[in-house]
Amino acid sequence: MQRILQRSTREPQDVNKTPLNERHHAAGARMIDFGGWEMPVSYTDIMSEHRAVREGVGLFDLAHMGRLAISGPDADTLVQRSQTNDVDRIKVGQIRYAMFLNERGGVIDDILVHRRPSDLFLVVNASRREVDLARLKELSEGLDVVIDDQSENLGMLAIQGPKSPEVVSRLVEDIDVDGLGYYRLAEGRILGEAGMITRTGYTGEDGFELYLPASSLVDLWDAALEQGAPEGLRPCGLGARDTLRLEAGMPLYGHEITEDVNPVEAGLMFGVRLKKPDYPGKDVIARVKAEGPKRRIVGLAVEGRRIPRQGYTVLSGEAEVGRIASGSWSPTFERAIATALVAAEVSDVGRELTIDIRGRTATARVVALPFYKRDGSGSLNTTDS
The answer to whether residue 9 scores a pLDDT higher than 50 is no
| Residue 198 C-beta-side C-alpha neighbours within 13 Å | 24
- Burial class (CB within 10 angstroms; exposed 0-12, middle 13-18, buried 19+) of 265: buried
Share of the chain above pLDDT 90, in %: 95
| Beta-carbon contacts of residue 334 (< 8 Å; ≥ 6 apart) | none
DSSP codes joined into one string, 211-274: EEEGGGHHHHHHHHHHHTGGGT-EE--HHHHHHHHHHTT---BTTTB-TT--HHHHT-GGG--S
- Mean pLDDT computed over 320-329: 99
Output the 3-class SS for 195-210: EEEECCCCCCCCEEEE
- CA distance readout (Å), 315 to 176, 260, 311, 367: 51, 21, 13, 16
Asked if 360 and 342 count as a contact pair (C-beta separation under 8 A), the reply is no
Altogether, the residues listed in the chain come to a count of: 385
Q: Does domain 67-149 have CATH number 3.30.379.10?
A: no
CATH superfamily of 2-65+152-245: Probable tRNA modification gtpase trme; domain 1 (3.30.1360.120)
Kindly report, residue by residue over 129-187, the tens digit of the pLDDT.
999 999 999 999 999 999 999 999 999 999 999 999 999 999 999 999 999 999 999 99
Q: Which of 326, 160, 331 is nearest to 234 (CA)?
A: 160
Tell me how many degrees the CA angle 243-339-111 measures, rounded to the nearest 5. 70
Q: What pLDDT is stored for residue 382 in this prediction?
A: 74
The answer to whether residue 305 scores a pLDDT higher than 70 is yes
Q: What pLDDT is stored for residue 385 in this prediction?
A: 46
Same-fold call for 2-65+152-245 versus 67-149: no
The CA distance from 312 to 164, in Å, is 37
Kindly report, residue by residue over 230-281, the tens digit of the pLDDT.
999 999 999 999 999 999 999 999 999 999 999 999 999 999 999 999 999 9
Q: What pLDDT is stored for residue 2 in this prediction?
A: 65
The answer to whether residue 384 scores a pLDDT higher than 70 is no
Q: Which of 234, 189, 225, 180 is nearest to 207 (CA)?
A: 180
Kindly report, residue by residue over 36-67, the tens digit of the pLDDT.
999 999 999 999 999 999 999 999 999 999 99
Q: What pLDDT is stored for residue 13 in this prediction?
A: 59
The answer to whether residue 1 scores a pLDDT higher than 80 is no
The answer to whether residue 8 scores a pLDDT higher than 90 is no
Domain boundaries, the chain: 2-65+152-245, 67-149, 294-385
Q: Which residues pair with 71 in a beta bridge?
A: 146
Q: What pLDDT is stored for residue 19 in this prediction?
A: 98
- The structure's pTM equals 0.95
- Mean pLDDT computed over 72-91: 98
- Mean pLDDT computed over 196-210: 99
The answer to whether residue 82 scores a pLDDT higher than 70 is yes
Kindly report, residue by residue over 341-367, the tens digit of the pLDDT.
999 999 999 999 999 999 999 999 999
Kindly report, residue by residue over 11-36, the tens digit of the pLDDT.
545 789 999 999 999 999 999 999 89
- CA distance readout (Å), 73 to 86, 143, 247, 316: 17, 8, 41, 54
Rounded to the nearest 10 degrees, what angle do helices 238-247 and 46-55 cross at? 60
The hierarchical CATH code for the domain 294-385 is 2.40.30.110
